């Protein structure tokens, strides 16, 4: 499922990643519970590590989570930015690529079980809604 979503997002929303090598690696267990997905880089290859828990979310939410990780690849590494700025920049790019409704669904799915995202974690539901209203 994640491979299909990744390929669809690259084809339709992140075409600049078509020539990048991006693998998906499923992870499970308590030591991987602090993230749904994260991207790693190794010798010119990107690896999106996905916690199997993400598969309990709706397809729209999974799509938003994957788009967020692809946005990290597009944005690249910014050593001068804080983690908060990097996460907010990735969410902003997801919105600009037309995936605001999916990002909002991710928040809805996440918030059923966990504390709501704060501005330190990325864009908030309120900020996403304001962006969508402005379009």
Between 116 and 9, whose confidence is greater?
9
State the pLDDT at residue 135: 65
Count of other CB atoms within 10 angstroms of residue 108? 14
Domain boundaries, the chain: 2-134
CATH number of 2-134: 3.30.2010.10
Residue 80 has pLDDT above 80, yes or no: no
Find the DSSP H helices in 13-116: 59-75, 83-96, 100-111
Residue 2 has pLDDT above 90, yes or no: yes
State the pLDDT at residue 117: 79
- pLDDT band (50, 70, 90) for residue 32: very low
Q: What tokens appear for 22 in the block?
A: 């991006």
């Amino acid at each position: 499922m994640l491979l299909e979503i990744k390929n669809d997002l690259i084809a339709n929303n992140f075409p600049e990643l078509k020539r990048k090598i991006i693998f998906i690696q499923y992870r499970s267990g308590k030591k991987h519970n602090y993230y749904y997905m994260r991207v790693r880089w190794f010798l010119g290859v990107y690896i999106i590590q996905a916690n199997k828990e993400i598969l309990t979310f709706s397809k729209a939410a999974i799509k938003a989570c994957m788009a967020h990780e692809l946005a990290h690849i597009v944005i690249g590494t910014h050593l001068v930015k804080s983690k908060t700025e990097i996460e907010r920049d990735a969410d902003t790019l997801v919105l600009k690529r037309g995936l605001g409704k999916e990002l909002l669904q991710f928040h809805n799915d996440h918030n059923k079980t966990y504390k709501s995202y704060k501005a330190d974690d990325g864009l908030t539901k309120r900020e996403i809604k304001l962006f969508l209203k402005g379009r």
